[in-house]
């Protein structure tokens, strides 16, 4: 199985990348998955060019292909202005519309204060729901004071277990099952049938 990690950290070293690595290690151990990391910092120029000209550069195209082909995805962003970073959003803006449909995704974020932890629920979860991904129940937020403190390792383990279970379930059955096609009956025909029933 293939696990792809998208990290939107900007600094080196980055707490965002550190959290991404911890989540990836915990998930890969459970899912026996091969891990590939996509560092958005290295793709910033190509992402901007793609937004303006519609064509991905070579490295961006490879990253988009990796995300599309992944069996599971871990996405981690720093919090800027109470939301995900612009670079993070721009990457998912250039991804094909159906690329994440039915794909298991673990969402995570880092920030300087615990006050920003709700970014997971009011920004990241709605974004990936819109992209029709299957977002694991446990999201992971790490504030500056969480590193080395109790709680973070347990949240990482719980989220990784949920993602690994989803990945294993989908690999056994294939991608998420598409709904069966259904017949559309014109409204006038349906109304006529109802009218006839009353006579």
β 134-135/104-111 pair status: parallel
Query: What pLDDT, on the 0 to 100 scale, is given for residue 185?
Result: 75
Provide the token pair at 155: 């949240």
- 13 upstream amide cis, omega within 30 of 0: yes
Q: CA 34 → CA 107, 157, 199, distances in Å?
A: 19, 18, 66
For residue range 135-180, list pLDDT tens digits in order: 999 999 999 888 877 889 999 999 999 999 999 986 554 444 444 5
Longest CA–CA span in the chain (Å) reads 77
Distance of CA 14 to the CA centre of its chain: 19
Strand partners, 38: 6
pTM above 0.95, yes or no: no
At 198, is the pLDDT very low, low, confident or very high (cuts 50, 70, 90)? very low
Q: What is the pLDDT confidence band of residue 197, given thresholds at 50, 70 and 90?
A: low
Q: Are 153 and 119 in contact (CB under 8 A)?
A: no
**Tens of pLDDT, residues 53-69:** 999 999 999 999 999 99
Q: Which regions of the chain does DSSP assign to beta strands (E)?
A: 2-7, 34-39, 72-80, 83-84, 104-111, 134-135, 140-143
Sorted by sequence, the CB contacts under 8 Å of residue 188 that are 6+ apart come out as: none
């Amino acid at each position: 199985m293939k696990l792809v990690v998208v990290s939107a950290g900007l600094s080196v070293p980055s707490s965002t990348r550190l959290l991404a690595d911890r989540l990836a290690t915990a998930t890969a151990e459970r899912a026996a998955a091969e891990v590939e990391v996509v560092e958005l910092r290295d793709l910033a120029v190509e992402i901007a060019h793609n937004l303006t000209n519609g064509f991905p550069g070579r490295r961006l195209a490879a990253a988009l292909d990796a995300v599309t082909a992944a069996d599971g995805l871990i996405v981690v962003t720093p919090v800027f202005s109470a939301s995900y970073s612009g670079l993070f959003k721009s990457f998912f803006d250039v991804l094909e519309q159906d690329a994440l449909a039915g794909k298991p995704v673990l969402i995570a974020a880092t920030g300087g204060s615990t006050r920003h932890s709700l970014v997971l629920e009011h920004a990241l979860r709605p974004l990936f729901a819109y992209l029709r991904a299957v977002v694991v129940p446990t999201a992971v937020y790490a504030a500056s004071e969480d590193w080395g403190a109790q709680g973070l390792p347990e949240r990482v383990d719980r989220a990784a277990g949920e993602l690994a279970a989803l990945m294993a379930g989908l690999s056994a059955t294939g991608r998420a099952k598409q709904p069966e096609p259904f017949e559309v009956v014109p409204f006038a025909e349906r109304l006529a049938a109802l009218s006839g029933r009353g006579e």
